[in-house]
Structure 1
Amino acid sequence: MLEDLPAFGRHHVPTASGAWRPDEPIMWLSCEVHGDVTVVSVAGEVDLSNAHLLTELLENVAGVRAPLVVVHLAEVTFFGAHGTEALVRARRLLNRRGGRLVLSRPSRVVRRVLDLTGTLAGFEVVSRFPPDAVDRRPARPVAPDTAGVVELSDS
């Protein structure tokens, strides 16, 4: 009986013929930390059904001390308005906390959607990856004050 269960994270969906096939994911996310740089890589389709996962990941990354977050978008094949919202929200959160959000090699699809929505100009875009190629300004320490508001430290 246990051998009949699908592998974790994999589901089976019916086809028109009545047979079952594995339901493959349409988006892949990965997150790596390299010192002061956090790299979030996105591949596949970012749409209404899954953009919340990107939003949650970016908010979690921005919620911890992350001076520089690089979002690698070269492998994105579809990018909807909800993906734009995820990037804009993460950029705002990082800016409030003294961090930076950088888009690395956005695919033509991503670049087009960001351009059409008028949000592309608000992002720092780099053409090289991995993060070692990112212009590394010295990270400024971030420290919460007694009210829980994050302020930049001069040290």
Structure 2
Amino acid sequence: MSDERPVFGCHHVPALSGAPWPDEPIMWLICDAGTDVTRISVTGEVDLSNAHLITELVATAVSGAAPLVVIDLSGVSFFGAYGTSALVLAQRVLTGHGRRLILHRPSPVVRRVLGVTGTLSAFEVVDRPALPAVDGAPARPVVPTRFGS
């Protein structure tokens, strides 16, 4: 009997050579909570194993002061049905607290899944780079430079 305990949340997948290597994350979330807008960026694959994290992050954002939550989905490469459920639930949570949700630049795969499920029209979708300001005034344009914006 071994004294070695399993490490939960870390799986080892054999490489082509047969040597194990730890799984790489399949989704990244970045949250920038401001006073006017909370911006959440989602990159990678959204599936059964991680879609709930989006909903949990939005639920946490409700405790902040920002009346607007923007979820940037431009970097999503896979979007399963659980991703759709997570966004629908996130919208319910936000509207229940008098907040607004915008899906910013959904990738083609996100747009396709939301379209097929009939939920795309339930969301406010913004495809342009500059987002609307909270008070209805136009947002400050972002001018790309060599070093970012």
TM-score range, shorter-chain basis?
0.7 to 0.9
Per-residue CA deviations over 1:20-70 (Å, capped at 9, x if unaligned) read 223111111010023310000000000011111112112211343330000
Per-residue CA deviations over 1:70-127 (Å, capped at 9, x if unaligned) read 0000000000111111111111111111110000000000000111111100111111
| Distance across 2 between alignment mates of 1:77 and 1:45 | 5
| Distance across 1 between alignment mates of 2:113 and 2:49 | 17
Give yes or no for contact 2:34–2:66 (8 Å, CA) kept in 1: no
| Distance across 2 between alignment mates of 1:114 and 1:62 | 24
Task: Looking at secondary structure, tell me which structure has more helix per residue.
Answer: 1
Match of 1:73 in 2: 73
Q: Determine helix, strand or coil for the equivalent of 1:31.
A: strand
Runs of 4+ with >6 A deviation: none
Give yes or no for contact 2:27–2:42 (8 Å, CA) kept in 1: yes
Give yes or no for the alignment of 1:32 onto 2:32: yes
Match of 2:86 in 1: 86
CA-atom RMSD in angstroms: 2.0
Map residues 121-132 of structure 1 onto 2, 5 A cutoff: 121-129=121-129
| Distance across 2 between alignment mates of 1:31 and 1:103 | 14
Map residues 6-85 of structure 1 onto 2, 5 A cutoff: 12-15=12-15, 17-85=17-85
| Distance across 2 between alignment mates of 1:51 and 1:108 | 18
Q: 1:134 aligns with which of 123, 131, 135?
A: 131
**Change beyond 3 A, Cα 1:84–1:63:** farther
Cα offset, 1:11, TM superposition: 5.9
Number of residue pairs aligned between Structure 1 and Structure 2: 128
Task: Looking at secondary structure, tell me which structure has more strand per residue.
Answer: 1
Gaps in structure 1 of 5+ consecutive residues: 1-8, 140-155
TM-score (norm 1): 0.74
Alignment identity in percent? 60
Give yes or no for contact 2:33–2:66 (8 Å, CA) kept in 1: no
- Residue identity in the other structure for 1:136: A
